[in-house]
Amino acid sequence: MDTPKSVLAEKAKEVLKKAYAPYSGFKVGAALLCSDGSIYTGCNIENASYGATICAERVAISKAISEGQRDFIAICIVSDPQNGPCYPCGICRQVLSEHCTDDFEIILPDEMGALNTFTLSSLLPFGFSNKNL
């Protein structure tokens, strides 16, 4: 299934508006593409107990997995354009590595709107795996 990156970026921008970020003010939206062409979105949801905050990427992947999806192609992650590219945090990179292949694409718009693409393995070259134990 070939979904244009721009479609994922638009979906991520739409859900960005729903983010709940009263503490940091840093809103994030994500759109996850599955191999069957379905797209799952997520936004960050903060909590006064910061450890209970969940990132947009993990919301999207959790929604997809809870609906039976297991084969993921790409994710687009957006924030306000002035923030520049919104790279996934370490926890999100590790969660993605649990459920995605090394060539999974992470699409990050820059300040000018260009859609830069990275592979998961380039952003997390030595991710933890219990397969290595």
Q: How far is CA 91 from CA 1, 31, 106, 124, in A?
A: 28, 17, 15, 11
Q: What is the structure's pLDDT at 2?
A: 57
Closest to 25 measured CA to CA, from 53, 9, 11, 46:
46
Catalytic residues: 57
Q: What is the structure's pLDDT at 133?
A: 56
Spatial separation of the C-alpha atoms in residues 99 and 95, rounded to whole Å:
7
Q: What is the structure's pLDDT at 82?
A: 84
Q: What is the structure's pLDDT at 62?
A: 98
| Tens-digit pLDDT profile for residues 38-94 | 999 999 999 999 999 999 999 999 999 999 999 999 999 999 988 889 999 999 999
Q: What is the structure's pLDDT at 126?
A: 85
What are the chain's domains?
5-132 (3.40.140.10)
Spatial separation of the C-alpha atoms in residues 63 and 32, rounded to whole Å:
10
Q: What is the structure's pLDDT at 25?
A: 95
| Tens-digit pLDDT profile for residues 2-29 | 569 999 999 999 999 999 999 999 999 9
132 pLDDT band (50/70/90 cuts)?
low
**Residue showing tokens 């924030």:** 79
Does the structure show a pLDDT above 70 at 131? no
- Is the four-CA dihedral 125, 122, 39, 54 of positive or negative sign? positive
- Give Cβ neighbours of residue 49 (< 8 Å, ≥ 6 apart): none
Amino acid in position 95: V
